[in-house]
Each structure stands twice: as structure tokens, then as C-alpha cells.
Amino acid sequence: MNQQSKPHYDFLSQAFHWVTAIVVTIAFILGPGGFGRLMRQGIDPATRSDIVWHESLGILILVLTVLRLLWVALRPGTPQIPMASWMRMSAKLAHVALWSLLLALPITALLTLGSEAHPLTLLGGLRIDQMPLIADSAIAKLADWGDVHQFLGDAIMWLAGLHAAAAIYHHFIVKDGILSAMLPPKRTP
């Protein structure tokens, strides 16, 4: 079977996909509402496990996304599933938007922390109290990065939901193997 006609993504692509989906969902759930207000009230983020986990998972998302992009450039061929051109274009646009959000969310989080002089607190007690390169940059003053981060967080969850709904539609209605391609192959006895 040639690389272009294989029915499944490779194991590493599948692992990156599902781990990223899980980590993004958990980070969203743990996203501390009113984070900036808490910091202005003098709450130390290291005392809030939701903040520490949210920020740690955000850094993990950034690392996973960069590694995924490297793997996309190097991986073997992907499944080529026939579909209408409008579906293929919609899928490409959705994927570009998802990739962009996966990169933009951690960046806007760092811009938020740096521009508002809040520390980055991570698991294991790692803490970066100040980010002067961000705080002193012109980009720090361009927006309320906390609002931008929150908006993008909501956007990625909506888009991921549409992505999942499209995969389910393809699986049950179109029956073209899109969802199965991102799942491990069934073992034959």
C-alpha cells in the first residue's frame, strides 16, 4: 500500500492530535475567571492550583504545537480521503484556524502576564516573576491581552466543537473514514 492511500494517520500524528485536544480542554476548564482581578487584589497565583495548572498546560500546548508543526513537515504521507471541494476547503480553513489559535493562545497568555506584571507560575514551583521584554514592548500596550486571550480561548473551543461535529458527520452520514483515520487501526484476529 503506498503512503498516499493508507487509511490512518501515523501513530505520532494521532497521539499529538488527541493529547492536544485533551490538554486544551482541561486548560480551558481550569482557566481562572477574573485572573487579572485576583492579581490586582494581591492574590499570589502560586496559591491557586487552577492558575498553576492552567499556565503549565498552556506552556505544554505551545510545546506540543511546535513539535506537531515539526512533525507535520517530516511525517509520512497522510490519508487522502475523497470529498467535495467545498468540504476540503472548509477543512483546510478550519485546520489553519485551529493551528493559529493553538499558537496564539499561549502567546496572548504571555503577553497578558508580561504586560500586566503578573508572574508565570508553573508546576514544580517554577515561577517567572517579571517579563520585562514583554512589559517594555510596544505590543504590550496594543490591546487588553487578557480579554484577547479569553476571546481566543472561547473561539478555540467553539471551533474544536465544530471540528468534532464535522468528524462525526463524516463518520455517521458520509461514511468516508475521516474519523477512523485519526483512530488507531482495528486489530484483526
Q: What is d(CA 75, CA 45) in angstroms, rounded to the nearest whole number? A: 39
Our separate counts of H helices and E strands in the chain read 7, 2
Per-residue pLDDT tens for 93-104? 999 999 999 999
92 exposure class (CB count in 10 Å sphere: 0-12, 13-18, 19+): exposed
User: Given this model, what pLDDT does residue 47 score?
Assistant: 86
State the DSSP code for 172. Answer: I
User: Given this model, what pLDDT does residue 185 score?
Assistant: 87
State the DSSP code for 176. Answer: S
Element (H, E) at 85: helix 85-115
**Amino acid in the structure at residue 6:** K
User: Given this model, what pLDDT does residue 40 score?
Assistant: 74
3-state secondary structure of 121: strand
**Residue 189: count of CB within 10 angstroms of its CB:** 2
Cell 487579572 locates to 36
User: Given this model, what pLDDT does residue 5 score?
Assistant: 58
Nearest to 51 by CA among 33, 64, 37: 33
User: Given this model, what pLDDT does residue 2 score?
Assistant: 40
6 Cβ neighbours under 8 A, 6+ residues apart: 77, 79
- Provide the phi-psi class of 125: left if phi over 0, else alpha when psi is between -120 and 50, else beta: left
Q: What is d(CA 188, CA 176) in angstroms, rounded to the nearest whole number? A: 20
Is the pTM above the cut of 0.75?
yes
Kindly calculate the radius of gyration of the chain based on its CA atoms and give it in whole angstroms. 19
Residues of the chain with pLDDT under 70: 1-5
| Cβ atoms 143, 112 nearer than 8 A | no
State the DSSP code for 55. Answer: H
Taken in order of first residue, the domains within the chain and their CATH numbers are: 3-181 (1.20.950)
